[in-house]
Chains A and B, each alone.
Chain A
C-alpha cells in the first residue's frame, strides 16, 4: 500500500520562529489534507490541498503532486501551535492514509 512519511518527527521551536514540515508519499494520490491534532486528540482540518499552494493566516501549504510531496509552513509560531501535525492522502482505493506525524512543541 501507499507509504506516507513525514519529517521531522519532532520539532522544538521558540515562539516567533518559522518552520517547514514535509510530507512524502510513495504513489499517486487523489487528494491530500493537513491536520493539527490538539492535546485533547481533536483533529483540526488545516488544508485540503491536492495540488498548488494555499495560505490561511500564518499557515500555508504547497503540494507538488508530480513529485509526491507536500510542505506545511508555519510562520511566527505561537505556543498554541503545539501538537501533532499529520498529512493524509487519499489513495486510489479511496482510503485516507495518515502520515507518521510531526510533533511540534513551541516554547515561550
Chain B
C-alpha cells in the first residue's frame, strides 16, 4: 500500500506556542489530504480536508484560525496548532489517498501533542 509519513510522532509544548505537524505522501502524489483528531478512548474525528493549491475545507466546529492547514505541494500538507492550550492536547493523524489506488485511504503514524 501507499506510504504516508507524519512528523513529529510526539511533541510537548508550552501553552501559547505554536506547533507544526507535517504529513507527507512518500510514493505517490496526493491532491487531497485529511486531518483527524482523536481524544483518548474515542474515535477519529475529521477536522479538515487539505487541498493542494487551494484553501482547506474545515468541518463544523473546527476553528480555521486555530488549526492552520497548508498544502503547498502534491506530497506535503502541514497542520499548525496556533497558540496551543492544554485542551488542544490530543492525537492528530493525517490521511492521504492515492488516486491510482481506488479510493483506499492510508494514514500517517500520528502525532501525540501535549500542551503544558
Are A and B interaction partners?
yes
Chain A residue numbers with a CB within 8 Å of B44 are 86, 88, 98
Interface string of A60-90 (1 = CB under 8 A from B): 0000000000000000000000000010101
In this assembly, does B82 line the interface, its C-beta being within 8 Å of a C-beta of chain A? no
- Taken together as a complex, chains A and B put the C-alpha atoms of A76 and B23 apart, in Å, by 36
In this assembly, does B95 line the interface, its C-beta being within 8 Å of a C-beta of chain A? yes
Q: Point out residues on A near B: beta carbons under 8 Å.
A: 30-31, 33, 35, 40-43, 45, 48, 86, 88, 90, 95-101, 103
Contact A42 B43 (CB under 8 A): no
Chain B residue numbers with a CB within 8 Å of A45 are 1, 104, 106-107
In this assembly, does B7 line the interface, its C-beta being within 8 Å of a C-beta of chain A? no
Determine the residue in chain A with the shortest Cβ distance to B92.
A41
In terms of DSSP, what is the predominant structure of the interface of chain B?
A: strand
Q: A41-B93, A41-B110, A45-B1 are in contact. Are A33 and B105 (CB under 8 A)?
A: yes
Give the top 4 A-B pairs by smallest Cβ distance, nearest first: A43-B107, A41-B110, A48-B104, A98-B44
Contact A48 B34 (CB under 8 A): no
Instruction: List B32-53 residues whose CB lies under 8 Å from chain A.
Output: 34, 36, 38, 41, 43-46, 49
Q: A41-B110, A42-B109 are in contact. Are A30 and B103 (CB under 8 A)?
A: yes
